[in-house]
Amino acid sequence: MMKVIALAGNPNVGKTTIFNALTGLRQHVGNWPGVTVEKKEGVLEYRGQKFLVVDLPGTYSLTAHSIDELVARDFLLKGSADVVVNVIDATALMRNLFLTMEILEMGLNNVIIALNKVDLAEKHGIEINVRRMEEVLGVPVVAMSAKEGAGLDELKEKIHQMANGMLKERPVIPQYDPEVEREIEHIMAVLRDTELGEEYNLRWLAIKLLQRDDGVIKLILRHLGSEKLDEIMGHIAEVEARYKRAMDLIIASQKYEFIDRLMHRFVRYTKVEGESFSDQLDRFLTHPVYGLLTLFGVFYLMFKFVFAVGLPLQGYLDDAFTAFGEWLAPHIANEALRGLLVDGIIAGVGSVLSFFPLVFLLFLALSVLEDVGYMARAAVVMERIMRKFGLPGKSFIPLVLAFGCNVPAVMATRTLDDERDRLLTMLVNPLIPCSARLSVISFLAGAFFASHQALVAVSIYATAVLLALLVAWLLSRFVIRGEESPFIIELPEYLIPSWKTVTLHSWERSKEFIKKAGTIILLGSMAIWYLSSYPVQMGTGGSYAERLGMFFEPYMRLMGLDWKAAVSLLFGIIAKENVISTYGIIYGSEEAIAGAMTPLQAYVLGMVTTLYVPCIATIGAVRAESNWKWAAFTVVYMIALASLVGILIWNVGTALGY
């Protein structure tokens, strides 16, 4: 059985970079917090021994506020790891050692500290005596620069030694004021009469009970009963009254004081830094006005780049698939097989695959913005706006992830501490256009608005984001009420992106698009071809697709659309790319589609495709992260919203003569 190595640490400390270096995997590494929202696993082989490496979500503490914190805490608490590698950022020791102290308070004696970013710390004049740090903390410390691969071999060796019992440690435990220590001892004495000591460290339980940790309160209630628990909580309230502060604040401040005393024994600051260029840039990029203007400018340029470079490539691919179909058709004698391959699979899958360059370029642009460190600044700018609509600033991270794919974005809401914030963010998340919807938007923009593709795309994206904010405001006022949680985000260092990393990362994200084309889009294209070819060929009004579309056509007419749009949107529920593949199968070519709709109808179709029901995978993610009630609610409100917007744009546009 493989020994288990857990990687724990604050967000954005390089934990996933170390995970990838140890396992040879390519998990997403981002220069902003919240990238890892669930634990990931890989295998390390060293000295002929295999280890299971588990990358836990980044967390600032082990008090269970959010789901990611709970995932990390439960894994460590249940003793699932043979070795815990606590990755800490050498440039932010005080904050990172807070989590270290929480881990050591659990009673773990198998902790290795991976002191990452030591090269950056030296640049900032932070001199760390690593050997002295080991003596003071009582655990092994490995100085590292994970990005450069420095210290990796030493870390592997320490892991091997610790896992095989060749390293012993005597970790330091935080000490508090005598009055707090007395209360900890009192609670521990009460808990010793229970069976909790067999499974948990009693000092850790006592400290978490003092901090009124919900999970620990429920656990102790089951073992002590309400009467004894009420008595303990009464004691805690008396201590808080004497301090005139909540106990979690008392413990946190005394823990920071303890860390400060420790740091004086192994850290020396060799220079005092004034306002750096990075600080000046931050002031500009996070300014309420300049920052917002920069944000719009950055995203406009991003789409401009995607369309300017991607559309010619898309055209070449589309021509290649069309030429391949024309070449293949005469070689297949069987009419049904020819129709399935040429008109069904090549026309359907080919029309979707031709948009791969745009999807890859969008991910490339987003990866560059992430790695440079801009996305965290954008989150600060948007926080002020989002708060006015009832969303916490921390929601910006899952909402930005949704531009790539709504499924991981819904899962990323786990980083939100408050359940009300999490649910609110999850429900509006599907309104953010994902990369699949980019293929539909870019197709319609290219076919009907050749001179203004970027402007049309940005207008659809901006409308979708604005509607997401409005829906959030309505839900927060009338459906999901509650207090907003505070916004805390770490601004990472500005970095020059590694083109190798950015390209690999973009490929890892965009290859899902190709996988989908080879699976769900392929099946969808075959189904669409069958429905449009049987029992009679489409065009007679008797094909299954026409009958299905005709059923919904009266409703679609309210938005200026016909039965073909109805069929496309129905198949788009499986995967949004099916909207394009359906049109490709029905019309056969982009030119034929361009001649079948007006620009106004194309704009309505693009907007409705963006806003109506999310794909099945996203609905499943919402259900998994909440329940069926909220998943059904999401489907219903998005259909209503898309219909309302579609009808409004069509009638206003018609009245204006478009």
pLDDT tens track for 271-282: 766 777 888 899
CATH 1.10.287.1770, the chain: domain bounds: 178-269
Determine which of 284-298, 366-380, 453-467 has the lowest per-residue pLDDT on average: 366-380
CB atoms within 10 A of CB 273: 10
Nearest Cα to Cα of residue 317 among 353, 290, 288, 345: 353
Residues paired with 8 in a beta bridge: 86
CB atoms within 10 A of CB 450: 10
The number of angstroms, rounded, from the C-alpha of 139 to the middle of its chain's C-alpha atoms is: 33
* CATH class of the domain at 178-269: mainly alpha
pLDDT in tens, 181-223: 999 999 999 998 888 888 889 999 999 999 988 888 988 898 8
Query: What percentage of the chain reaches a pLDDT higher than 90?
Result: 34
* Residue entry with tokens 């969303």: 391
42: helix, strand or coil:
strand
Q: In angstroms, how far is the first alpha carbon of the chain from the final one?
A: 69
Nearest Cα to Cα of residue 291 among 283, 280, 299: 283
User: Which helix H or strand E contains 652, and what residues bound it?
Assistant: helix 628-655
pLDDT at position 486: 63
pLDDT in tens, 370-394: 888 888 888 888 887 888 888 877 7
Report whether pLDDT(134) > 50: yes
436: confidence class by pLDDT, cuts 50, 70, 90: confident
* Residue entry with tokens 């967000």: 11
pLDDT at position 589: 72
Which residues fall in the annotated binding site for GTP? 9-16, 34-38, 55-58, 116-119
213: helix, strand or coil:
coil
Nearest Cα to Cα of residue 252 among 182, 177, 202, 183: 177
Q: Across residues 356-373, what is the average pLDDT?
A: 83
What CA–CA distance (Å, rounded) separates 210 from 235? 10
pLDDT in tens, 214-247: 888 988 898 888 888 898 899 889 888 988 888 8
Domain 3-164 grouped into CATH 3.40.50.300: yes
Which residues fall in the annotated binding site? 9-16, 20-21, 23-24, 34-38, 55-58, 116-119
CA distances from 643 to 109, 612, 631, 646 (A): 59, 8, 19, 5
Report whether pLDDT(28) > 90: no
CA angle at 291 for the pair 286 and 297, rounded to the nearest 5°: 145
CATH 3.40.50.300, the chain: domain bounds: 3-164
Which residues fall in the annotated binding site for Mg(2+)? 20-21, 23-24
What CA–CA distance (Å, rounded) separates 450 from 461? 18
Nearest Cα to Cα of residue 397 among 490, 513, 304: 490
What CA–CA distance (Å, rounded) separates 633 from 641? 12
pLDDT at position 64: 64
> Would residue 107 be called left, alpha or beta, if left means φ above 0 and alpha means ψ between -120 and 50 degrees?
left
What is the secondary structure of 414-427 as a DSSP string?
A: GG-SSHHHHHHHHH
* Range of 358-367, 384-393, 622-631 with top mean pLDDT: 622-631
Nearest Cα to Cα of residue 101 among 69, 73, 62: 62
pLDDT in tens, 74-118: 888 877 789 999 999 999 899 999 999 999 999 988 999 999 999
Q: Across residues 565-581, what is the average pLDDT?
A: 84
The number of angstroms, rounded, from the C-alpha of 230 to the middle of its chain's C-alpha atoms is: 40
Peptide bond into 535 cis (omega under 30): yes
* Residue bearing the bigger pLDDT, 53 or 595: 53
Mean pLDDT, the chain, integer: 86
